Structure 1
Amino acid sequence: MHRRIIAPGVLAAASLLLAIPASAASYSPGAPGIGDPYYPYYGNGGYDVSHYDLRLRYQPKTDELQGTATILAKTTQDLSSFDLDFLLDVSEVRVNGAKAAFTHSQQHELVITPKTPLAKGTPVTVVVRYSGVPSTKSAYGFNTWHRTPDGAVAADEPEAAWWWFPSNDHPSDKATYDVSVAVPDGTQAISNGTLQSTASQRGWTRYSWRQNKPQATYLSTLAIGKFDITTSTSEGGVPVVNAYSKDLGDNDGAARASVERTGEIVDWLSDYFGPYPFSSAGGYVPNTTTGYALETQSRVYYSPKQFAKGSNVSVVVHELAHQWYGDDVSLKKWKDIWLNEGFATYAQWLWSEHEGEGTTQELADYVYASHPADDPFWTVEPGDPGADKQFDDAVYDRGALAIQALRKEVGDDAFFAILKGWPKEHAYGNASVADFQRYAEKVSGKPLAALFGTWLFQPSKPAASAGRAASLVKAGTAVAQPKSWKKIEAAHGGHSDGAAR
């Protein structure tokens, strides 16, 4: 999808390698991509990050961002140089205390050549000093930094970090975070995890947030503006922090009526998925023009448009379900997106049944009947949809239909044991669709290759009998639309619009 462009700076870096002693001849540059076939140059090879410490200063009036990122990592090969994914202007890089050479390559690569090559297994501290106006930067024709009337928001998928901090931008390299942001007095800065402290000095207030559990880069968020912040604790003991822009207008009431139910929904989902995996929960609704929501870890991003037609608890269920399926257990590669979106959509189906607005089987029947055999919907394979179809309706709806088929195949006892056991099995790690199939087979004691092949990888409409459910309707049979359907669709429809930019 993207071509590697050799810039003059890269040639200069290559000439530096000629000066490396013969004893270091085995040292080589880290790969400019982590190896994901959907996004060849996302992430980087040669190292693994354990922690990001981001100390930032942001001026909302001008959109100017200044930052110092301290990245703790360990090398996974003998490295002569390595890349970070980043777009802003860099003034200095240090590796283990020594100044390092650096240059920009391609559209979003920061190539760093340390003063001394790094042996495999070496702990590395990388310090990057930078500044810039994020809204003026673009890569591959898009920008994911969202300006608001009183600030800005970083929240997008599959990439958002490049516009505000240098990173190894792929879900397979998760890390903990400290995010400290200074903003003018009267403005607030919101990020993931828990607020550790606030401090005011000379007209600026610094907000320091900590995410103490591993987090994928695209799940890191930053929101700067003027918010009304509410705090509470769920009945199950989970601290909840929500925030609403003070200029949401007519959407304010519906947004609060939805997002303020976060604690209730976290506790409800815990009955299905196990204990909530993070130190806090919550969400924020900034005054943006985007149309999607995003499961930013422990602090969900919601667009005001999600509430333009009234309250929408279903989208809150979807994004909170991701805290287990997508955030706690993250995908290994982007082709494994079904593990995120299929299960978050199925959580909405469970909520629909809970609310008496349509059972999971009624929703499955409706999805199956709504798409005739020649509908392109069935040509999308949720288990590997391709980069262009990664957020297609089929990944959500056919993906949830596959989960209902699994439930019918293994029975409720095994099915709900799988739902709850999976986040525990791969807690704070990464997993693939193949990993999930093996786990489901282990728990259920049944071979499931045929079922997974039919529902996730067959580019045509499965026969009704493949669902092991007599209620899956025959072709041409009309099925009433469940009451919950439009809100379920709104949750993932807006999400996919955002991801597709």
Structure 2
Amino acid sequence: MITTEPRGALVTPPLQQPARRPTPRRRGAVVAAGLPAAVVALLAAAAGPAAAATTGSSGVGDPYFPLAGNGGYNVHHYDLTLGYDPKTRHLEGRAVITARATERLTRFDLDLKGLKVTSITVNHAKAAFRRDGQELVVSPRKALRKGQEFRTTVTYAGTPGPVTDPDGSLDGWIPTDDGAFVAGEPQGAMTWFPANNHPKDKASYDFAITVPAGRTAVSNGVFRGQKTAKGRTTFRWRQSEPMAAYLATATVGTFKVEQYTAPGGLKVFNAVDPREAAASAAVLKKLPSVLAWESTLFGPYPFKGAGAIVDRAPQAGYALETQARPVYDRAPDLSTLVHESAHQWFGNSVSLTTWKDIWLNEGFATYAEWLYDEQHGGQSAQKTFDALYASPASSDLWAFPPADPGSGAHIFDAPVYSRGAMALHKLRTAVGDRTFLRILRTWASDHRDGHGTTAQFIRLSERQSGKDLDQLFHTWIGTKGKPSKP
């Protein structure tokens, strides 16, 4: 993510082509008529723990967003069928969620806020459900075995709207004058589909989004086609590589669409609000070259689809790296395009395991901006670093350590972005350009389609460089206050 307010050459290898529920109840013992008490006791003992009711937790334990995500299962695939009318702002949805139980489950949760659920089935059998804040609590008719794959179908409808984040910004389903700007970081996925809403659980997606003819619905991955009937058009999309729920989008508007195939076979789909088209044209034309340049630094582009969604959504006030197709609330400048494109490697393909580690997303994407400037006739990364270091000790830049912002209210503040980038520059100067690039490429490769932590990145940097880097990382991402030496 990046707000849309203004905010020595590196050696690169050759271009390469293209991861609170109540205390659990136990089943009551049923005494079989006519059986001796000793036999009943033996039968009960044989049943053992398997007869116990078990429930998936209502969160995955993230310290900043304790109710985000759910325990007891992992999602493999979401199949989302949506219908949206921008005039009435009414959404109808059907989510088919394929998952695998990681423990025996008599009950599990999904994250869903503000929409009315009309029915739920689990493995085609009607399931009981109730609402508890953002938790949709599902009780299957038959308990799910540990390791069992199961399919949950949720039918729902209502008027979606955004959530307000701890920093006061909006995310989720944000209505616009011609549709909706859909950007879910960090909480907003639950405003428009039931999900295991934490980056720890990534899945593939299929989308079928129906809107009035003349509107366009844009989502993630590769465009699969459209069909118009009876005044409504259905757009189909497929995101085959794993994706965190917050990176999903279903942005709707009156868009000018451009499609083409970039070098290497990459499918590009751009959707631009006509009011932003003139201001966007020159920057969007550079997208293939930006992705090619980033591929030389970070390794092959990690997805089959690419592109941009340029909307007019002043109430949002930011751009977001929605997977394979970032969404911009207005015409982006080149630095913003570079930033959101870099997130496709850092944040999307390699995802967080906890929001505390968000500097691994934002610090890396910000440093990509510095490197792009350095290699394209702009200021060197060292000069950018020096200018930031000149900030007084009272500056917000030094208010908290990038690797621990302290709460969800600060995950998009200056230390995460700029001081995170400064830490990477210090790493680069400590290990040299070639080793630094090898670290970035190995990080993107080893954790592709998966997850990473700050501790893992530090260990990788030390292995690749052969240096003890504890003090460097402690100083630049582990402590608050301005370091005494640049």
TM-score range, shorter chain: 0.7 to 0.9
Q: How big is each residue's C-alpha offset from its partner over 1:246-302, in whole Å with a ceiling of 9 and x where there is no partner? A: 3x2xx4322222223211100111010011000011111112112111000001011
Q: For 1:51, what is the secondary structure of its paired residue?
A: strand
Q: For 1:28, what is the secondary structure of its paired residue?
A: coil
The one-letter amino acid of 1:97's match is H
**Structure 2 residue 323 is matched with structure 1 residue 302:** no
Conserved 8 A contact 1:236-1:267: no
Aligned to 2:103: 77
**Structure 2 residue 398 is matched with structure 1 residue 378:** yes
Which stretch shows the higher mean deviation, 37-46 or 21-30?
21-30
Distance 1:184 1:335 in 2: 41
Distance 1:261 1:160 in 2: 30
Distance 2:162 2:436 in 1: 48
Distance 2:337 2:216 in 1: 23
Relative to 1, partners in 2 of residues 1:136 and 1:170: Cα closer, same or farther, differing over 3 Å?
closer
Distance 1:197 1:19 in 2: 53
* Count, aligned residues: 445
Q: Tell me how large the CA RMSD over aligned residues is.
A: 2.0
Conserved 8 A contact 1:410-1:444: yes
Aligned to 1:496: none
**Structure 2 residue 61 is matched with structure 1 residue 35:** yes
Relative to 1, partners in 2 of residues 1:42 and 1:429: Cα closer, same or farther, differing over 3 Å?
same
Distance 2:288 2:29 in 1: 56
Compute the displacement of 1:25 (Å): 3.5
Higher relative CO (Cα under 8 Å, sequence separation at least 6) belongs to 2
Conserved 8 A contact 1:233-1:263: no
Aligned to 2:72: 46
- 1:437 equivalent among 424, 447, 458: 458
Distance 1:143 1:334 in 2: 16
- 1:268 equivalent among 293, 296, 303: 293
Structure 2 gaps of 5+ residues are 1-19, 31-43
Q: How big is each residue's C-alpha offset from its partner over 1:444-500, in whole Å with a ceiling of 9 and x where there is no partner? A: 111211111111011122232xxxxxxx4xxxxxxxxxxxxxxxxxxxxxxxxxxxx
TM-score by length of 1: 0.85
Q: How big is each residue's C-alpha offset from its partner over 1:329-369, in whole Å with a ceiling of 9 and x where there is no partner? A: 00111011011000100000001112222101011111111
Compute the displacement of 1:19 (Å): 5.8
Which stretch shows the higher mean deviation, 137-146 or 231-240?
137-146
Q: How big is each residue's C-alpha offset from its partner over 1:28-55, in whole Å with a ceiling of 9 and x where there is no partner? A: 1111001111110000000000100001
Compute the displacement of 1:219 (Å): 0.4
Q: Which residues in structure 2 correspond to 1:105-254 (within 5 Å)?
A: 105=132, 107-135=133-161, 144-246=172-274, 248=275, 251-254=276-279
Q: For 1:62, what is the secondary structure of its paired residue?
A: coil
Relative to 1, partners in 2 of residues 1:138 and 1:314: Cα closer, same or farther, differing over 3 Å?
closer
Distance 2:288 2:267 in 1: 8
Aligned to 2:3: none
**Structure 2 residue 124 is matched with structure 1 residue 104:** no
Relative to 1, partners in 2 of residues 1:20 and 1:458: Cα closer, same or farther, differing over 3 Å?
farther
Q: Which residues in structure 2 correspond to 1:321-360 (within 5 Å)?
A: 321-360=342-381
- 2:434 equivalent among 385, 406, 413: 413
Conserved 8 A contact 1:179-1:191: yes
Q: How big is each residue's C-alpha offset from its partner over 1:427-459, in whole Å with a ceiling of 9 and x where there is no partner? A: 100110111111111111112111111110111
Q: For 2:107, what is the secondary structure of its paired residue?
A: strand
Structure 1 gaps of 5+ residues are 465-471, 473-501
Conserved 8 A contact 1:234-1:267: no
The one-letter amino acid of 1:375's match is S
Which stretch shows the higher mean deviation, 140-149 or 375-384?
140-149
Distance 1:341 1:156 in 2: 16
**Structure 2 residue 335 is matched with structure 1 residue 314:** yes
Distance 2:383 2:165 in 1: 43
Distance 2:443 2:473 in 1: 17
Q: Percent sequence identity over matched residues?
A: 45
Distance 1:281 1:122 in 2: 34
Q: For 2:106, what is the secondary structure of its paired residue?
A: strand
Distance 2:176 2:76 in 1: 32
Compute the displacement of 1:18 (Å): 4.8
Aligned to 2:412: 391
TM-score by length of 2: 0.88
The one-letter amino acid of 1:278's match is F
Q: How big is each residue's C-alpha offset from its partner over 1:166-213, in whole Å with a ceiling of 9 and x where there is no partner? A: 000000100000011111211111100011121222222111100000
Distance 2:455 2:29 in 1: 43
**Structure 2 residue 307 is matched with structure 1 residue 287:** no
Q: Which residues in structure 2 correspond to 1:47-66 (within 5 Å)?
A: 47-66=73-92
Distance 2:28 2:219 in 1: 43
Which stretch shows the higher mean deviation, 81-90 or 231-240?
231-240
Conserved 8 A contact 1:137-1:163: yes
Conserved 8 A contact 2:112-2:193: yes
Conserved 8 A contact 2:163-2:188: no
- 1:258 equivalent among 265, 283, 291: 283
Conserved 8 A contact 2:27-2:51: no
Distance 1:351 1:143 in 2: 29
Relative to 1, partners in 2 of residues 1:347 and 1:401: Cα closer, same or farther, differing over 3 Å?
same
Q: How big is each residue's C-alpha offset from its partner over 1:214-238, in whole Å with a ceiling of 9 and x where there is no partner? A: 0000000111121101122333442
Distance 1:325 1:222 in 2: 22
Conserved 8 A contact 1:63-1:135: no
- 2:383 equivalent among 329, 351, 362: 362
Which stretch shows the higher mean deviation, 143-152 or 65-74?
143-152
Relative to 1, partners in 2 of residues 1:324 and 1:139: Cα closer, same or farther, differing over 3 Å?
closer
Relative to 1, partners in 2 of residues 1:413 and 1:203: Cα closer, same or farther, differing over 3 Å?
same
